Homo-oligomer: A and B are copies of this chain.
């Protein structure tokens, strides 16, 4: 049942079979319908989710009713609203399933105990968060210093799978531009190639 996640963890740290079995006792499987919300303001995000199958989206709904997509997650990625998960405060971001699928849920209140019993997981999660810092760093630089054309090109290069999986208006939202403008960007880029 938990093969995928254990395999994924073993890419970063060594985990005995006993540890793997023990880990399973802290996890739960959850089926997802399309458009189902895993985190919904103002309820705190009380778990982290590992995507087994499907695609998630992290977004902020502003005062004017516009959604700003801040992250996607596909198979093998973790996601939650870390801001709320770390602090216990009410969540300000939504996490939504874009397709039907399946996630593995790790509850906040079990995590400390789990770390005590399986110390290797400390390292694993530390690496995850370090990677988050690094990629957010790059995203900030990109957002502030490059044009929409370039942001789109880098997105396609970095996440080719997403490009063909999520609707274009969500990609536009992730890039911080309007869907109409993304359409224009694409035709402009296509024109350049020839």
CA distance A60 to B126 in the complex (A): 25
B60 and A175 contact, CB distance less than 8 A: no
B129 and A176 contact, CB distance less than 8 A: no
Q: Which residue of B lies closest to A67 (CB)?
A: B145
Interface size classification for chain A: 20 to 34
Is A62 interfacial (CB-CB < 8 Å)? yes
The 8 closest A-B pairs by CB, nearest first: A144-B176, A143-B143, A136-B136, A68-B145, A86-B130, A83-B134, A143-B144, A139-B140
Is A133 interfacial (CB-CB < 8 Å)? yes
CA distance A129 to B133 in the complex (A): 8
Is A168 interfacial (CB-CB < 8 Å)? no
CA distance A86 to B138 in the complex (A): 14
Within 8 A of B (CB), among A35-71: 60, 62, 66, 68, 70
* Inter-chain pairs besides A66-B145, A83-B133, A133-B136, 18 sampled, C-beta below 8 Å: A60-B145, A62-B145, A68-B141, A68-B145, A70-B137, A70-B141, A70-B144, A82-B130, A82-B134, A86-B133, A86-B134, A129-B130, A136-B136, A136-B140, A139-B140, A140-B140, A143-B176, A145-B176
B144 and A175 contact, CB distance less than 8 A: yes
Is A1 interfacial (CB-CB < 8 Å)? no
Copies of the polypeptide in the assembly: 2
Binding site for B on A (CB under 8 A): 60, 62, 66, 68, 70, 82-83, 86-87, 126, 129-130, 132-134, 136-141, 143-145, 175-176
Residues from chain B with Cβ under 8 Å of A143 in the complex: 140, 143-144, 176
CA distance A148 to B18 in the complex (A): 54
CA distance A66 to B144 in the complex (A): 12
A164 to chain B, nearest CB (A): 22
Residues from chain B with Cβ under 8 Å of A68 in the complex: 141, 144-145
CA distance A138 to B62 in the complex (A): 13
